[in-house]
Structure 1
């Protein structure tokens, strides 16, 4: 609470709108308004359902501080249609601003660089952890490598690689076939996506799920799950292959399908590019600006 007070007292006078992307920042803005230190509009961006995500993200003794925040701000922003509907419970205006793909992903993809079924390369980027399905991915890869011993799996992102997943991969016998690169640049991600046989993202839940859309922008065949976040842009067998969350069998089968029919996989990637081109940050900025001005839904 002392930290919230400090944030609240640093809000510049004359600020008309605060766009809070983090529950404590919205709470601090509310505190400043209550104390008369500042008077303006509070717009809060909500990427995950506060009814379930807050208790998982903060120590329980702090969670209660933030539960009421969405009820008290002036406008809520979100990035997917299902969450837009759920947020109606707070009785505040809600605008789905969606998400955008960084322009670097929308540059013309490199042609002729993608790995084939002879030496397949699969790629995952994101926070390594249970919610992203990292354990499922490693178990599935252990099955794939039995038929395709030259296959490689590239992982990038922060998370529990050294403390857990490296040992888990060793236990499964696939460590030597995994290339963990940690946090990497957008340029390196683009190069990997242009080279990968498929992008694999077996997540359990997402507020939006940007990595699969970024891979789609590079014409990379995508294997992922349908959830609140991805539902607005994924189409099974048209721009990606969809699997059931938690299903090793589904994931392994989808990987095998990509390897068995490279032409179909290439077509998936081409259609995926068309999908990704509709998601630009310019459109996100326009929707956000309208919401801040009170013109959004």
Structure 2
């Protein structure tokens, strides 16, 4: 190779020797999909959505390359290619040290800073000086963008599909490098995470940049569509609504709650204990329920920054003996808790969609959900409340607990409803969106 050869040729020579992707002739629709997580390496609902959506897309003939910034070295899929950016670069002979990422899908700049401080404290002075991760989550997102740009320049695909705002810088770089159209998938916004309070301006700017760089935007509800129009200045004709579906749950689960059930009914909350999820409204409603019926136990499963405050408030109200805080629960434990609950409550302040009530309904547990949620747009056999109306929440809890006919109707029809919500339909809509954006090009 002569001295005048372009640098890109040098990069591609490295790729050809050490990168597993090879271009080939094909006839199927091929998608470069970017995400922070995928089961079993995931932090929350977005990971499960990505899993079910990608599987349904592949079943309908779409070829997917799924790129994550980090993950287990042995992660595999039987239906799509998974590329872990952090693992690829040593093979490409770049001077990058491979270490576990500190970033999770629901990481905030503040929590990332705390994890980064712990990470630095574990290093020797020399290692600390050479640490490759930036001092905050934003620098890590932009590091991922640099890697994805190089991956995109080599891979063969038709369209870019990016989940989660932390992938938006990478998606923009991939679009710039290849000229391929970009679809972003908005599952949640900074306004929803914070309840509209203390919005992080830098996060907002990343979100907005991705939205305005995209050719089309998929949102999980009309609730989020209005958010994008009102708060991010996105034209309505650029947004397509694709509601999530329900994951088929294992109903053959057992949890021995006989000691509790001998005397008490069970009201269940599952979710992150954060402002967005409305745990404080759940507690205030519980107090009102107990004033009418003391034979009720409340289970609040999950962790989050509000948990200490919630525990303190429960003690202040004198109802600590009526609350159980099991902390973080696994998928199997979620199914067991839903199985024993008499009613599930989701009092979210701002919920873009909301998978958890669907999981409860799969276990034949009646659900009470916030009207300020995307899932309320598609569910009929549930009771709906405004998150702030603790009197209404309490009254509806008592109604489900005390009126057997109402309980049985919600239980039976709710199960039938959730069984009909399969992932084939969201996948079909995504394919139509892909085709629409490709026609524009």
How far 1:70 moved relative to its partner?
A: 1.0
Secondary structure in 2 matching 1:205: coil
Aligned to 1:157: 302
Aligned to 1:9: 146
Root-mean-square deviation over aligned CA pairs: 3.1
The correspondence for 1:63, drawn from 198, 204, 208, is: 204
Aligned to 1:103: 248
- Take 1:210 and 1:142, find their aligned partners in 2: how far apart are those partners? 26
Per mean C-alpha deviation after superposition, the further-off stretch among 90-99 and 49-58 is 49-58
How far 1:148 moved relative to its partner?
A: 2.7
Change in CA separation of 1:52 and 1:223 when aligned onto 2, cut-off 3 Å: closer
Secondary structure in 2 matching 1:102: coil
How far 1:91 moved relative to its partner?
A: 6.0
Judge conservation of contact 2:368–2:385 (CA < 8 Å) in 1: yes
How far 1:84 moved relative to its partner?
A: 4.1
Change in CA separation of 1:124 and 1:86 when aligned onto 2, cut-off 3 Å: closer
Per mean C-alpha deviation after superposition, the further-off stretch among 80-89 and 155-164 is 80-89
Question: Rg: which structure is higher?
Answer: 2
Judge conservation of contact 1:121–1:198 (CA < 8 Å) in 2: yes
Deviations 1:185-205 (A, max 9, x none): 222211211211100111222
Aligned to 2:343: 198
Change in CA separation of 1:51 and 1:267 when aligned onto 2, cut-off 3 Å: closer
Aligned to 1:47: 187
Aligned pair 1:136/2:261, yes or no?
Answer: no
Aligned pair 1:285/2:427, yes or no?
Answer: yes
Secondary structure in 1 matching 2:249: helix
How far 1:138 moved relative to its partner?
A: 0.7
How far 1:52 moved relative to its partner?
A: 7.1
The correspondence for 2:216, drawn from 75, 80, 85, is: 75
Q: RCO higher in 1 or 2 (8 Å CA, sep ≥ 6)?
A: 1
How far 1:207 moved relative to its partner?
A: 0.6
- Take 2:354 and 2:280, find their aligned partners in 1: how far apart are those partners? 18
Secondary structure in 2 matching 1:254: helix
Aligned to 2:33: none
- Take 2:409 and 2:434, find their aligned partners in 1: how far apart are those partners? 40
Aligned to 1:251: 393
Per mean C-alpha deviation after superposition, the further-off stretch among 70-79 and 140-149 is 140-149
Judge conservation of contact 2:370–2:384 (CA < 8 Å) in 1: yes
Correspondences of 1:229-248 after superposition (within 5 Å): 229-235=374-380, 239-248=381-390
Change in CA separation of 1:99 and 1:296 when aligned onto 2, cut-off 3 Å: farther
- Take 1:117 and 1:233, find their aligned partners in 2: how far apart are those partners? 35
What is the TM-score normalised by the length of structure 2?
0.58
- Take 1:225 and 1:91, find their aligned partners in 2: how far apart are those partners? 25
Aligned pair 1:294/2:439, yes or no?
Answer: no
Change in CA separation of 1:52 and 1:174 when aligned onto 2, cut-off 3 Å: closer
What is the TM-score normalised by the length of structure 1?
0.83
- Take 2:263 and 2:160, find their aligned partners in 1: how far apart are those partners? 53
Secondary structure in 1 matching 2:275: coil
Judge conservation of contact 2:190–2:199 (CA < 8 Å) in 1: no
Judge conservation of contact 1:212–1:222 (CA < 8 Å) in 2: yes
Judge conservation of contact 1:206–1:228 (CA < 8 Å) in 2: yes
Unaligned runs of 5+ in 2: 1-137
Change in CA separation of 1:122 and 1:47 when aligned onto 2, cut-off 3 Å: same
Q: What is the aligned residue count?
A: 289
